[in-house]
Structure 1
């Protein structure tokens, strides 16, 4: 089935896309990773939503939003398909979307520690000690867009 990458502000999303995004986030974070948290945190309203659709289903997703220090933060990074390369495609093409849509050269994220090597492939560097968030070990990572290949 054909997949395509999409980047939209909240107001550009269709109701079906919002539903599919929230369903994918619940599937990964609540069901698969057993994280009990309030997912709808109002950040979505001001975020750029970057995702890969397979038919109508969202199979890979992240959101990006501007922080007060002029960094762009990406979060809620997920794939519902594992081992197909969808995560790498999402990050590669999604970072280009973020670079185009935001007027900054700095990006950060909180990475689950098991994913550090994955993010390092895209130029991210660990900039913190490990910390516990929602019962899962994380680190803060940053990169400059000027380092994008």
Structure 2
């Protein structure tokens, strides 16, 4: 897929796979980028790799330089009664890749899970991004691993 998104113009590939379909190299790259962002960069010691990884779609944008954006779309009943999305990240900031990966995650939820509702726990600073994509806040702010979060829901129209 070729697209222009913010400052980034180039050839970016979207990959969508279940855990069992990932190669060892793909799984390594996913875990490496998630730990780099959520554990090292955000200085947050927590169990980053969890059982939800086995029960979700792994969605990532990548090119010859590696994974540029990632999210996982989790089966209903694993973390919430509804389908959910988490571990959303973009390694190349301010290029529109965060928006692009959330849109791809919503497409996966709709098309592969037939979901009409997606539940997330968003870092509070990213509220605006999610609101632009149709999410609404459904909880007060709370701390998750020391970082302010809010519950948000997306509903199909």
TM-score norm. by structure 2 comes to 0.88
What is the rounded CA distance, in whole Å, between the counterparts of 2:55 and 2:38 in structure 1?
21
Query: Which of 18, 22, 30 in structure 2 is aligned with 1:9?
Result: 18
What is the rounded CA distance, in whole Å, between the counterparts of 2:65 and 2:147 in structure 1?
30
* CA-atom RMSD in angstroms: 1.3
Equivalent position of 1:23 in the other structure: 32
What is the rounded CA distance, in whole Å, between the counterparts of 1:106 and 1:89 in structure 2?
19
- Unaligned regions of 5+ residues in structure 2, if any? 1-9
Q: Is the CA contact (8 Å cut-off) linking 1:70 and 1:106 kept in structure 2?
A: no
Query: Which of 38, 41, 44 in structure 1 is aligned with 2:53?
Result: 44
The DSSP-based 3-state class of the residue aligned with 1:84 is: coil
Q: Is the CA contact (8 Å cut-off) linking 1:7 and 1:49 kept in structure 2?
A: yes
Deviation, structure 1 residue 104: 2.2
Q: Is the CA contact (8 Å cut-off) linking 2:68 and 2:90 kept in structure 1?
A: yes
TM-score norm. by structure 1 comes to 0.92
What is the rounded CA distance, in whole Å, between the counterparts of 1:21 and 1:31 in structure 2?
14
- Unaligned regions of 5+ residues in structure 1, if any? none
Structure 2 vs 1, CA of residues 101 and 56 (structure 1 numbering), >3 Å: closer, same or farther? farther
Runs of 4+ displaced beyond 3 Å: none
What is the rounded CA distance, in whole Å, between the counterparts of 2:65 and 2:112 in structure 1?
24
